[in-house]
Chains A and B, each alone.
Chain A
């Protein structure tokens, strides 16, 4: 056995057990009938998939895509200047990079609860504004789409910043000098040279943010309240409250399929996905 294969074997085994096997189980479940108290039973059926045609689910899918897209766009707009700043801070690069990933040292759940404490009617933001007599009634900061997007942007910004930083860092500075030398003002140099050359990093960051945002359920559950149902929450509900495992399996496979189609469509001809 080649040394390479020897070292690869544990990973291959882990992937098979933790990724392929669960996926196979989900596929099988999605084709079975719902059990009375959860679980699945025979006969085989494709009814779980035909139920997806209901416009209610189409709206939830669209809403989920919309919120993930807005969060991704905001991460890009906020993350690009930050990545640029870090890439150009010389010896302080590593300090800033560790600050970007510092939040990972605490659980995402706890950090999301922290946002609830900040945003709720009796939270710090509203209390402060009330005390300063800037507002009379608490602002509805929590339990809406805005709060969900805020939570997503906060949580996934590092996944945008890191690949962007890696691309910007490798950018040859003489290319930007050449742009200025050829008469391009800073804005034109950004649009005509920097952004096109950072396209691989932008694509990688967008995928790393968009995909987890699409499947999120924690953020929408805690910050969106009952009003904001996203696909993630819908799937979660099938496996808990509704006890409809086969339909939950079909939903999550549909989400996977659509996300993959979108990613392959976003891929440029002849380029790798990431």
Chain B
């Protein structure tokens, strides 16, 4: 039995004064999923999130949540909550005050215990009486999360919540966020432009480009079986040879195969990135070689790959 749909977007479009931000997007988001909207900046993913939250009105199309049409309701009547990119914490309230803010408006049973429990879940019990300005970036992000999940929304909308963190922390928080989602069981709709983030955290990914959906599927589907050239290029690097895609990590540099000339060697720690130009044809090709490899610019090598790794779109 397919999982139950919690949130559906039906032929959603949004026009701004000068351009179409979202174009005819239909999506079904299953209950309990970690669902990501992935795309370059300006592709319309944040606009979709804002239409679900109620900050933008769709030009055409409908949003359904739990069998109820919500796109005409004001934000304060929708049982969805948002973690903003800037976190949008109330600077005049303490951590506890921020978390309690929504409880004053939405009826949730057992308020005090819930606040305590949520504070514990995001490891902020010790900082409950601090102001947001006294917290680190990671702590602020956790307050923003706590403030939203304490209301037990049907869907939690996350707008690039990791982009304000430094890269080291970002990787750690990915795991934490994923664990938190499993623990509280709330459906997450996660907007990001970072393909690694989307691949590592999501149950399902919807890839967007220029306001339209390109492909929806599991991380493995999207990476290994991209249906459009855009998806293939956007998720990881891709070589295009005679119209066929091959990932750099699938390219082997050996003694037999197509001849290529090395044009650049970049040492990246765990591997070397080798840029090459095919001798027959105009195409460039990139490969990953072991970190100890000793290729030099201008050297002639041969490249092969397993036909199983070829991607046709």
Contact = CB atoms under 8 A, between A and B. Distances in A.
Interface string A29-43: 000000000000000
A180 interface: yes
How big is the B interface, by class? 20 to 34
Contact of B88 (A177, A184, A196, A199): A177
Interface string A190-225: 001100110100000000000000000000000000
Contacts of B76: 180-185
Contacts of B101: 179, 182, 184, 192
B137 interface: no
Contacts of B105: 182-185, 188
Contacts of A180: 54-55, 74-76
Interface in B93-109: 101-102, 104-106
Nearest to A183: B105
Given A183-B76, A184-B76, A197-B91, A178 B84 contact: yes
Nearest to B102: A182
A46 to B, nearest CB: 47
Contact of B90 (A175, A183, A185, A199): A175
B9 interface: no
A177 B102 contact: no
Nearest to B107: A183
A181 B86 contact: no
Contacts of B183: none
Say whether chain A's binding surface is mostly helix, strand, loop, or mixed: helix
Contacts of A193: 90
Interface of A: 172, 174-175, 177-185, 188, 192-193, 196-197, 199
B264 to A, nearest CB: 43
A196 B80 CA distance: 26
Contact of A196 (B82, B92, B102, B151): B92
A196 to B, nearest CB: 5
B46 to A, nearest CB: 12
B102 A175 contact: no
B180 to A, nearest CB: 19
Contacts of B86: 172, 174
A268 to B, nearest CB: 12
B151 A182 contact: yes
Contacts of A196: 92
Contacts of A179: 90, 101
A260 B247 CA distance: 74
A182 B84 contact: no
Contact of A181 (B82, B91, B92, B104): B82
A69 to B, nearest CB: 25
15 contacts: A174-B84, A174-B86, A177-B55, A178-B88, A178-B89, A180-B54, A180-B55, A181-B54, A181-B81, A181-B82, A182-B81, A184-B76, A184-B104, A188-B105, A197-B92
A181 B90 contact: no
A197 B89 CA distance: 12
Nearest to B74: A180
B74 A182 contact: no
A172 B92 contact: no
B246 interface: no
Interface in B134-190: 147-148, 151
A221 to B, nearest CB: 42
A174 B88 contact: yes
B106 to A, nearest CB: 4
A179 B151 CA distance: 13
Contacts of B201: none
